Structure 1
Amino acid sequence: MKLSTLAPAFAVLLATAAHAQTVTTVRIDATKPHQTIANFAASDAWAGQFVGNWPAAKKEAIADLLFSQDKGIGLSMWRFNIGAGSAEQGAASGIKDEWRRAESFLTPAGTYDFTRQAGQVWFLEAAKKRGVTQFLGFLNSPPVSLTRNGKAYATAKQPNLAPDKAGALAAYCVRVLEGIRQKTGITFAYLSPVNEPQWDWSDGGQEGTPFQNTDITDISKALGAKLAASKLPTQLLITEAGKLDYLYSAADKPGQGDQIGAFFGDKAAPTYLGGTPRVAPIIAGHSYFTTSPYAQAVATRQQLAAKVASVPKLGFWQSEYCILGDNAGEINGGPRDLGMKPALYLARTIHADLAVADAAAWQWWLAISPYDYKDGLVYIDKNKTDGQYYPSKMLWALGNYSRYLRPGTVRLDAQLADPASAGQPLVSAYKSANGKQLITVVVNDYDTPATVQLALNGGRLGAGKTYVTSATADLQPGAAVPAGQPLRVEPRSVTTLVSELR
Structure 2
Amino acid sequence: MAQKEPVLEITLHTNKTFQTIHNFGASDAWSIQAVGKYWSEDVKNKIASLLFSTSNKPDGSPEGIGLTAWRFNIGAGSTEQGEDSQILTEWRRSESFLNADGTYNWNKQSGELWFLNEAKKRGVKTFVGFVNSPPVFYTKNGKAFSEDGLSANIKSENYKKFADFLSEVVKGVKIETGVDFDYISPFNEPQWDWKCCKQEGSPWNNDEIVEATKAIDASFNTHNISAKIEITEAGHLDFLYSEKNRPNRGNQIAYFFDKNSPGYIGDLKSIAKKIAGHSYFSTWDLETLKNTRHLLSKEIQKVDPSLEFWMSEYCILEDNDIIKGGGRDLGIDPAMYIARVIHSDLVLANASAWHWWLAVSPYDFKDGLIYIDDNKFGGNYYESKMLWALGHYSRFIKPEMIRIGTSHSDKKSLEEALEGVLQSAYMNEDEVVVILVNQLDTSKDIKISRIPKEFKAMEVYQTTNTTDVNLKKVSVLGIKEVMTLPKKSLTTCVLKR
2:66 matches 1:74: yes
Match in the other structure for 1:190: 183
Q: Which runs of 5+ in 2 are unaligned?
A: 56-62
**Partner SS, residue 244 of structure 2:** coil
Q: Which runs of 4+ in 1 moved over 4 A?
A: 420-423, 457-461
Match in the other structure for 1:314: 307
> Which whole-Å CA distance do the structure 2 matches of 1:79 and 1:442 have between them?
27
2:309 matches 1:351: no
Q: Is this contact kept in 2: 1:337–1:374, CA < 8 A?
A: yes
Match in the other structure for 2:147: 155
> Which whole-Å CA distance do the structure 2 matches of 1:459 and 1:424 have between them?
29
Q: Is this contact kept in 2: 1:462–1:484, CA < 8 A?
A: no
Match in the other structure for 1:334: 326
Match in the other structure for 2:75: 83
Residue deviations 1:226-254, cap 9 Å, x none?
Answer: 11222321001100000100111111112
**Partner SS, residue 480 of structure 1:** strand
Q: Give how far 1:270 is off.
A: 1.7
Q: Give how far 1:130 is off.
A: 0.6
Q: Give how far 1:207 is off.
A: 0.3
2:488 matches 1:496: no
Residue deviations 1:462-491, cap 9 Å, x none?
Answer: 321111111221100013331222332111
> Which whole-Å CA distance do the structure 2 matches of 1:424 and 1:22 have between them?
15
Moved more, 329-338 or 367-376: 329-338
| 1:44 paired residue among 19, 22, 28 | 28
Q: Is this contact kept in 2: 1:24–1:424, CA < 8 A?
A: no
> Which whole-Å CA distance do the structure 2 matches of 1:316 and 1:192 have between them?
14
2:441 counterpart letter in structure 1: D
Q: Which runs of 5+ in 1 are unaligned?
A: 1-10
**Partner SS, residue 279 of structure 1:** coil
1:314 counterpart letter in structure 2: L
TM-score, normalised on structure 2? 0.94
| Superposition pairs of residues 19-168 of structure 1, within 5 angstroms | 21-53=5-37, 54-70=39-55, 71-158=63-150, 159-168=152-161
> Which whole-Å CA distance do the structure 2 matches of 1:499 and 1:250 have between them?
44
**Partner SS, residue 487 of structure 2:** coil
Match in the other structure for 1:273: 265
2:137 counterpart letter in structure 1: S
| Superposition pairs of residues 288-303 of structure 1, within 5 angstroms | 288-303=280-295
C-alpha RMSD of matched pairs (Å): 1.4
| Superposition pairs of residues 83-482 of structure 1, within 5 angstroms | 83-158=75-150, 159-265=152-258, 267-310=259-302, 311-326=304-319, 328-417=320-409, 418-419=411-412, 424-432=420-428, 435-456=429-450, 461-472=455-466, 473-482=469-478
Query: How many residue pairs align between the two structures?
Result: 481
> Which whole-Å CA distance do the structure 2 matches of 1:339 and 1:376 have between them?
12
Q: Is this contact kept in 1: 2:25–2:354, CA < 8 A?
A: yes
Q: Give how far 1:456 is off.
A: 2.6
> Which whole-Å CA distance do the structure 2 matches of 1:223 and 1:138 have between them?
14
2:300 counterpart letter in structure 1: V
Q: Give how far 1:214 is off.
A: 0.6
Q: Give how far 1:413 is off.
A: 1.2
**Partner SS, residue 157 of structure 2:** coil
1:492 counterpart letter in structure 2: K
Q: Give how far 1:295 is off.
A: 2.7
> Which whole-Å CA distance do the structure 2 matches of 1:400 and 1:458 have between them?
22
Q: Give how far 1:303 is off.
A: 1.1
Q: Is this contact kept in 2: 1:31–1:457, CA < 8 A?
A: no
2:112 counterpart letter in structure 1: Q
2:467 matches 1:483: no
Q: Is this contact kept in 1: 2:448–2:479, CA < 8 A?
A: no
**Partner SS, residue 481 of structure 1:** strand
Among all aligned residue pairs of Structure 1 and Structure 2, give the percentage whose two residues are the same amino acid: 45
Q: Is this contact kept in 1: 2:290–2:348, CA < 8 A?
A: yes
TM-score, normalised on structure 1? 0.93
> Which whole-Å CA distance do the structure 2 matches of 1:246 and 1:459 have between them?
45
Q: Give how far 1:373 is off.
A: 0.1
Q: Give how far 1:458 is off.
A: 6.2
1:284 counterpart letter in structure 2: A
Match in the other structure for 1:8: none
